[in-house]
Amino acid sequence: MREVAVVSFAQSAARREPARNEVEILMPVVTQAVEASGIPRHEIGFTCSGSCDYLAGQAFSFVSAVDALGAWPPIVESHVEMDAAWALYEAWAKIQCGMADSALVFGFGKSSPGEIRDVLTLQLDPYYLAPLWPDTVSLAAIQARVLLESGKASERDLAEVAARSRRDAAANPGAHQRDPSGVDELLARDYLVSPLRVHDCAPISDGAAAVVLAAGDLARKVCDRPAWIRGIDHRIEPHALGLRDLATSPSTRLAAEKAGLGSVPPEVAELHAPFTSQELILREALSLDAGVRVNPSGGALGANVVMAAGLVRIGEAARSIREGEASRALAHATSGPCLQQNLVCLLEAD
């Protein structure tokens, strides 16, 4: 395997963005990531992005994103209709087969124009599940209920995840869900969909994020402390919720094993958990004990740019390495209802 590192990361300040369209949000982010990489734009060998037509309400919505790239002369470019963490996976594979030495990866999306919890219902089996119109918060609430009834967690545990995430998000300029409330204060609030309260759910965020990857010597040349991707893998579970034990995440566990997590714990873990209950499920699947600093960025509970939030986890984990806060970090991305599909990326300093 070739050595590949994250050499730069940029993101917009996530928030509701009624005034700017996706390309306007994306353009400065891409420019910032490319400039920070130290690799001239026209020398970047591959570009790959992740986004979703159903957020924009438009077929081929990713096409206009090419306008944000300065794609002239024409570029080698691809797109996944997935969180951009999977675009990073495609780019990593492209570098592995020697067809590029560097790659620009980005994700973007605006959740605020639609009702994201209803829009995500369209991900469900179109014949047997979607017509019942279960929204994504309700499905997550079922999952949270299964977790609580398994005895592995309490509502107080959920609130503790929320309080920590909101506190950490306050220090992250990329996040916007900031709140100094304590656990007791949060627990006194009403349910949104029992057992989930508003603070158990990710906020509605619009935004974009971009990462530049570089291989071996190029990474060393442009970056003082590259965040090396030591392993990356992703796995999927059955779609029908009735076929899964929702209180566990076997696909996360398997992806971590394949990515080479092993027995050495990371110092930092950035987990893509849009619901507090999901963070607890992921921590167990990854065997993260109390010594691991989880989501210092505030995680998806601090900002949840759908289609970029997974890539942001990789970017934040890489940042913690590049800034010397950690020498081994784990990043995770998820897709689908109730953590159906999961990606794990292990990053290390030299």
The single-letter DSSP state of residue 174 is T
- Of the two residues 35 and 77, which places its CB atom closer to another protein in the complex? 77
Pairing of strands 206-215, 227-236: unpaired
Contact criterion met (CB below 8 Å) for 220 and 226: yes
Identified binder of another protein from the candidate list 9, 86, 108, 275, rule CB under 8 A: 86
Stretch that binds another protein, among 103-111, 126-134, 190-198, 271-279 (CB under 8 A): 126-134
Candidate segments 77-85, 145-153, 218-226, 323-331, binder of another protein by CB under 8 A? 77-85
Judge if the upstream peptide bond of residue 195 is cis by omega within 30 degrees of 0: yes
Is 75 an interacting residue with respect to another protein (CB under 8 A)?
A: yes
244's tokens: 């899964």
340 in contact with another protein (CB under 8 A): yes
Interacting residue with another protein among 99, 115, 221, 323 (CB under 8 A): 99
Q: According to the binding rule CB under 8 A, does residue 77 interact with another protein? A: yes
- Does position 216 interact with another protein (CB under 8 A)? The reply is no
Which of 3, 32, 336, 349 is close enough to bind another protein by CB under 8 A?
Answer: 336
57: left (phi over 0), alpha (psi -120 to 50) or beta: left
Instruction: For residue 233, give the 3-state DSSP assignment.
Output: strand
140 binds another protein (CB under 8 A): no
Q: Residue 275 forms beta bridges with which residues?
A: 201
Say how many residues make up the chain: 350
Give the range of 37-45, 58-66, 134-142, 162-170 binding another protein by CB under 8 A: 58-66
Give the tokens for residue 214: 């570089």
One of 5, 9, 84, 94 touching another protein (CB under 8 A): 94
Smallest gap from residue 89 Cβ to another protein (A):
7
Residue 63's CB is within 10 A of a number of other CB atoms, namely 10
* 158 touches another protein by CB under 8 A: no
Total residues at the site for another protein (CB under 8 A)?
A: 64
Distance CA 114, CA 139 (A): 19
Three-point CA angle 52, 279, 117, nearest 5°: 35
Q: Is 123 in the site for another protein (CB under 8 A)?
A: yes
Stretch that binds another protein, among 8-16, 25-33, 73-81, 177-185 (CB under 8 A): 73-81
CB of 96 to another protein, least distance (A): 4
The answer to whether 208 and 25 are in contact (CB under 8 A) is yes
> Distance (Å, rounded) from C-alpha 295 to C-alpha 52?
25
Does 281 bind another protein (CB under 8 A)? Our answer is no
Question: Which residues are CB-neighbours of 147 under 8 A, at least 6 positions away?
Answer: 153, 246, 247, 277, 280, 281
Q: Fill in the DSSP letter of residue 204.
A: P
Kindly indicate which of the ranges 9-17, 29-37, 67-75, 326-334 contains the residues binding another protein, using the contact rule CB under 8 A.
67-75
Residues contributing to the site for another protein (CB under 8 A): 1, 21, 47, 52-54, 56-60, 62-64, 66-67, 69, 71-82, 86, 89-90, 93-94, 96-99, 119-120, 122-127, 130, 233-240, 243, 250-251, 254, 335-337, 340-341
